[in-house]
Amino acid sequence: MKLNIGENIKRLRKQRDLTQEELSEILGVSCQSVSRWEKGLCYPDMELIPVISSFFEISVDTLMGIDRVAEKDSVNEYLREFQIAVSQGRIYDSIDIARKGVAEHHNSYALLNKLMYALFLSGSDDADIENWRENQEKYDKEIVALGERIIKYCPDREICLEATERLAFHYCETGRKELGRRLYETLPTLSVCRETAIWWALEESEKLSHTRDLISKAYSLLSCGLYRLGHLVSDRDAIEVYKTDNEIEKLLYQGKTLPDGWSKSKINYLIAKHYINLGEYDNAIDHLTLCAEAAKEFDGRPDEMKSSSLFFGEKTVRRSDFETADSRSLCDIVRDGWLTDTEFNEIRDMKEFSQIIEMLN
């Protein structure tokens, strides 16, 4: 962010019909100092800033040439461009956008947080980033430095907690689980959080939307727990877990699920894998078909989708809300990634399997 202190001092001095010598006497500095300020060669000492602004009867922001509204608009534009790029899996573009924003707005923790996020995503091992491992090593120190800076100095608690969680995960992903656990243990517990506690302080007009938001977040947490449980139990139990998650979603959305498709595709892919392990190939084919249909639905989703249910109320999901480190379409990910899993070798020669592959082309 460029500061125009010198230009402003010169303009204000002339408006008061003062010479550099007169202003220097008033402020108790040398005439050379005033001259250097006005030429932009240096800035006044920090303790002089309020003295100068008080003398000219203006705010410190005005003296420094900071337009807070314009600055906020500029930061928001960088955040908008970043979100579009990350929703399309353009990770390196995301990094460039965040770096440019930080260069202009050095102390924007929102942009610093996005830069940390983009650098972290560039080391994702389940996307189409060929040099992800090199990126993990290349950006490790910067990710840690950004995380520590945000955690220590950021006044926005939400950004601070987000950076804490991401830094902890980064430590775990790079073989430093002890450091990661220490950070995770600093996060608030689920039993004491704003979403559940603030109810008693809300006005009646706020309670309905707040409660629906709480249900939505609670379902996301439950779905995450069920997904993880499915990785820890037997094949038969895992199928039951994933199907239960699907049924809960249908109940809460009252049969009007948003056509986002990504999680639906992933869950059916996982169910199919477990059916393969059990030797139930027809069931595996059925769920791979559902997986492919959901992938096509996801790739063809509109820019904005709306839904309404008793439990969640009115919801709007935008295409740009989705964040990914993978620039491929979901159909490509399913066809060239998930379905190349050796566990599907048992059914790879079946006509139905070939038809699923064709569906994804």
pLDDT 10s digits, 282-329? 999 999 999 999 999 999 999 998 888 999 998 888 999 999 999 999
- Supply the pLDDT for residue 120: 97
CATH architecture of 5-64: Orthogonal Bundle (1.10)
Q: How confident is the model at residue 274 (pLDDT cuts 50, 70, 90)?
A: very high
Average pLDDT over residues 137-143: 97
Angle between helices 235-253 and 262-277 (to 10 degrees): 150
pLDDT of residue 298: 93
Domain map (residue ranges) of the chain: 5-64, 89-184, 194-360
Torsion over CA: 92, 94, 100, 106 (sign): negative
pLDDT of residue 317: 87
User: Vertex 155, ends 154 and 159: CA angle to 5°?
Assistant: 60
Q: Are 327 and 129 in contact (CB under 8 A)?
A: no
Give pTM, 2 decimals: 0.81
Confidence band, pLDDT 50/70/90 cuts, at residue 2: low
* pLDDT score recorded for residue 132: 96
pLDDT of residue 210: 95
What average pLDDT does the structure give for the chain?
92
- pLDDT, residue 190, reads 86
The answer to which of 32-41, 158-167, 197-206, 254-263 has the lowest mean pLDDT is 254-263
Q: Are 307 and 253 in contact (CB under 8 A)?
A: yes
Q: Which residues of 189-210 are buried (b: 16+ CB within 10 A; e: fewer)?
A: eeeeeeeeeeeeeeeeeeeeee
The answer to which of 178-192, 249-263, 282-296 has the lowest mean pLDDT is 249-263
Which of 344, 232, 221 minimizes the C-alpha distance to 292? 344
Res. 61 pLDDT band, cuts 50 70 90: confident
